[in-house]
Amino acid sequence: MDAPLHDRLDGQVALVTGANRGIGAQVAADLAALGATVYAGSRKLDAMQGVETESGGHVRPVRLDVTDESSIEAAVAAAVDGSGRLDVLVNNAGIGDWHGATLDVLDTERIDAVLATNLRGPMLACKHALPHLLEHEGGRVVNVSSGMGALGEGMSGSAPAYRVSKTGLNGLTAYLHGEYAGRGLLANSVCPGWVRTDMGGPNAQRSIEEGAETPVWLARLRPGAPAGLFWRDRAVIDW
Ligand SMILES: NC(=O)c1ccc[n+]([C@@H]2O[C@H](COP(=O)([O-])OP(=O)(O)OC[C@H]3O[C@@H](n4cnc5c(N)ncnc54)[C@H](OP(=O)(O)O)[C@@H]3O)[C@@H](O)[C@H]2O)c1
């Protein structure tokens, strides 16, 4: 789909969760290559050594565990204090319940962990980022969701907590659009496809670069672009 896009992101500031590996690391690198200053959230800062220097200072690692609200607040503050603004939040960090368990036998601890990471985390990240995202028209939230959470794609095949967390994340996107679009916010959900990361495994169809493509495209939307939608491959898909 055609949409008004920023050609470059010079002068803009992004915060990406789960940016030490996989799709999040690629999104951070791609946004930095477009000129943004990117705060790359990771709960393992030792995994980020050298990233800031190698990126010429464009990618700045920041400690961020999305299950810990104080670390979310601190990461948002680090971006705003360090660079004076926040234009883009990419809620990328995620975990799954991949061991084939259906809900009737799934450990409650796993349900809690998946919902805390994939749904409560993005909700709190939005809560703390919104005051800054709303300071300039065209602030963006990109929620990295999954077709596994799409009500229209058939909810079976295990991973119940993951599926429901992503359905909830899509609900967060719809809420953000309903509540804040009038104040200039562009909030979207995206399914990156099946991607060869630690989560997706080696047999997945897509490279990490391909998986990052539509999330980065959504992070480039300008005011007037479509929002409040669920995307894959730059096309709108059903919730
Ligand atoms: N890969 C796919 O096929 C696929 C398909 C659809 C949707 N997605 C979605 O795409 C997103 C990225 O997935 P991926 O494939 O890149 O997964 P990945 O390679 O497993 O990476 C997950 C990232 O999330 C981080 N993370 C997990 N828990 C966290 C927490 N509590 N706080 C902060 N960071 C945390 C991990 O950090 P650590 O290194 O500290 O664990 C890691 O950086 C996820 O939301 C996923 O659901 C992926």
What's residue 154's pLDDT? 83
Count of domains forming the chain: 1
113 Cβ closer than 6 Å to some ligand 1 atom: no
Task: Give 41-55 as a 3 state SS string.
Answer: EECCHHHHCCHHHHC
For helices 121-133 and 69-83, give the axis angle rounded to 10 degrees. Answer: 30
Q: What would the pLDDT profile of 122-166 be if each residue is shown by its tens digit?
A: 999 999 999 999 999 999 999 999 999 999 888 889 999 999 999
What's residue 1's pLDDT? 85
Three-state SS at 196: coil
User: Residue of the nearest CA to atom 17 in ligand 1?
Assistant: 199
Q: How many CB atoms lie within 10 A of CB 218?
A: 29
66 Cβ closer than 6 Å to some ligand 1 atom: yes
Residue 5: inside a domain? no
Which of 48, 73, 76, 92 maximizes ligand 1 atoms within 8 Å of its Cβ, making it the mutation to test the pocket?
Answer: 92
What's residue 100's pLDDT? 86
Give the integer Cα–Cα distance in Å for 83 and 199: 32
Residue 45: inside a domain? yes
CATH code where residue 215 lies: 3.40.50.720
Residue 6: inside a domain? no
Residues 6+ apart with CB under 8 A from 33: 58
Active site residues: 162
Residue 1: inside a domain? no
Residue 49: inside a domain? yes
Residue 205: inside a domain? yes
Give the integer Cα–Cα distance in Å for 174 and 171: 5
User: Residue of the nearest CA to atom 34 in ligand 1?
Assistant: 18
Q: What is the mean pLDDT of the chain?
A: 97
Domain range holding 29?
13-236
pTM value is 0.99
CB 64 within 8 A of CB 41: yes
Q: What would the pLDDT profile of 204-214 be if each residue is shown by its tens digit?
A: 999 999 999 99
Residue 32: inside a domain? yes
Give the integer Cα–Cα distance in Å for 20 and 41: 7
pLDDT over threshold 90, residue 191 = yes
User: Residue of the nearest CA to atom 1 in ligand 1?
Assistant: 200
122 Cβ closer than 6 Å to some ligand 1 atom: no
Residue 191: inside a domain? yes
